[in-house]
Structures are given as C-alpha cells and as structure tokens.
Amino acid sequence: MDDDASNRPIARVEDAALVPAGGPARLALSRLPRASEIADAVASARGVSTWAEGRLVVTAVPSRLVDAAGRVGGRELADLLEAAVVPAVDAWLGSPPDLETPAGTLPTSQRPVIMGVLNVTPDSFSDGGAHFDDARHPEQAVEAGLALMEAGADVVDVGGESSRPGAEPVDEEEERRRVLPVIERLSGHGVVVSVDTTKALVAREAVEAGAALVNDVSAGALDGMLLATIADLGVPYVLMHMRGTPRTMQRDPRYADVVGEVYDFLADQLLRLEEAGVDPGKVVIDPGIGFGKTVGHNLELLRRLREFTSLGRPVLVGTSRKAFLGSVSGEDDPGSRMVESLTAAALAVAGGGRLLRVHDVPETRRAVSIAHAVATA
C-alpha cells in the first residue's frame, strides 16, 4: 500500500440512526491527523469525544465534525476527514450494492444471499469426508452440490483444503484434483459456484472451470500472486480477516479492540486490493468469525456486525456449526448445532450481514427470511 493510502483516516460508524433527521453520529476514527485538536474543536461545538485504544470516538453531526477539522487544519484536513466519514455514514444507513458475477447477479442489495458449504475434504471440522470419497469422486460431491442448489442455495462454495483450527496445508496439485472437476460439473448444471482457496493457481483454474467467485480466508497473505490473479480474473473476491494461519490461528489470539482492529485491517486491505487492480465493487468483506478469535471475540464481532457495513461492501458471515457456538450452548457435536447456527445467522442478518456461508441451507433460508423482514420492516 502506498504511503498516502496508509495515512488516510479510517471511519467506522457505531451509530448513525439520527443522521437522516439532522442528528449526530457516533464514529470511531483511526489515523486521524491532529486528532486531539479536532476533539477539542468538537467539544467547543457541543460534540462529545473520547479515546478508545488509540481511536478517537466522536459523537457529533458529521458536517459539524468536518467543520471542526477545518478550523484545526484548514480545507485540506476537512476534505481528508469528509472523504472518510461521509461514505461510511452513507453505507451504514443504506444497503450494500448487488454483487455482479460471471454467472449472474447476486441480489445483496435486496436480501440475504445463501452460500452453501461443500467441503471436498477428508478433514473439515463438521463434514470432513461426507462429500469426498476417492471411489466416487467427483460424482459424490457433485450430487451434494446439486442438492444444496435445489435446497435454495444461491451459491455453492467448493473447498478442497480444510481451514479448521490446526488443519494441515494441502498441496496445490491435490487441491486442484479435489475441486476442479466438481466446479466444472456444477457450473455446467447452472450452479453459481465459489471456490474456497488461498492459492493463485487454484483460483485461476477454478474460474476457468466455471467458478464465479473466489473466497479466500487469508486476504492474500498465503500466496503473493493471489491478489494480482484476482485483478486479472475480474471475479468477485471475498476478503476475510484471519490472524495467523489455520494451523496457528487459535494459539492464544489477543486483541485490545477486536472490532476496531479487524475493521481497520479490512479497510486497509480494501485499499491494497484497489491498488492491485481489483474492482472495489467486486469485493465482499468477512470479519472472519472463528479465525484467530476467542469465544468472546466472536460474540463481540457478531454483536457489532452492523459497524462493518460502514465499509460499503456486502458483509459475509460464516458462523455455521462453529465451535464457539457449542462453547456457549454446551453442544459438542458440530452436526447437532443447527439451532445455534440458525440463531447466529438470524442475528447476523439483523446486524447487516448479506451473505451467509452455511451447512443447513433450507432451514437457514427460512430463518433469515424472518430476520430480514423484521430488520427492514
């Protein structure tokens, strides 16, 4: 990322419900030049500001906040802050755009989109081996993918490498062997397919085989060629936060402010993607629930999911059957966590989530249809 981009302020909306009526918003601001002076100017204009983990949290009418920056640093500082605050508030108040894919439009502006999980692996945490048998590959997985579509999945997410905590990496050749024939056959049946991979070559060949999205848990960190490949392919890309790797991510993860740190990471990565040539309109963001977070971190991210809509991109949430849900409910068997998963999915939609990566497709679709109806009534 260039120096100018890395020095831009980052605005995260905590609440802007009163803005349409001329009221204040509560904003968390990172990397804001002359922040202490702006805080003083906000206070003189009857605003409120505090400091939280190095971020300035301001409650003020957005236009007055920008005016305060202007009094401190002139037009240049006012413009810099306005360029961060106004889009964030507008995004928090509005709906995300639809997601255009080579296989058609995903209506993320209108309703939650269901992404069905199809793990073509022997070791995924919930369904490892259920859809992967060398004697019946790829037929077994293709049957499962078609069943997900018939059950109401908008997208089928095909992955050939487990990302469960402690998972061992899979080499490129084996991952290609697992996923490419499944993707080719499913896309031939009219299924909108995403490929769950961290590898540039797998992503490229998957798209050539018919995949319409790339879902990457690593934000490009595990393959230096992946982001350039995404830019070249021109397909939608899921940008996710993960601390460490699947093998190491649950080794004592710590955050001073999990929401702030994950948000700032995603904001920076969006700029990095744009610099790499990726169309910002084709990026989905995912806070990475379960990836390098404790139970408390995951619950906090889910509770405050609405704040991530400030980034102006559709938000994907993957909580289905995850261990943190079992830690809360006491259910040890991932396959028996449907109630927990449906509850988390409904809460995610109520908080602004627009893509849900799930195992239990028909049940989730019904549950989130209610959550979405209530949230948008």
Active site residues: 322, 357
Quote the Cα angle for 145-149-155, to 5°: 85
Cis, peptide link before residue 138, omega less than 30° from 0: yes
Report the C-alpha gap between 292 and 298 in whole angstroms: 9
**Residue 266 near residue 315, CB atoms below 8 Å:** no
**Residue 112 near residue 349, CB atoms below 8 Å:** yes
Tally helices (H) and strands (E) across the chain.
Answer: 12, 14
Report the C-alpha gap between 176 and 182 in whole angstroms: 10
Sheet holding 316-317, edge to edge: 283-286, 237-240, 213-216, 193-196, 155-159, 113-119, 355-358, 316-317
Max CA-CA distance within the chain? Answer: 73
Listed in sequence order, the DSSP H helices in the chain are 3-6, 35-44, 62-93, 139-150, 172-188, 200-208, 226-233, 258-275, 295-303, 323-329, 338-350, 361-375
Q: 129 by DSSP, 3-state: which?
A: coil
Q: 14 by DSSP, 3-state: which?
A: strand
Quick one: CA dihedral 25, 55, 90, 37, positive or negative? positive
The DSSP result for 54-69, as a single string, is TEEEEEE-HHHHHHHH
The DSSP result for 77-89, as a single string, is HHHHHHHHHHHHH
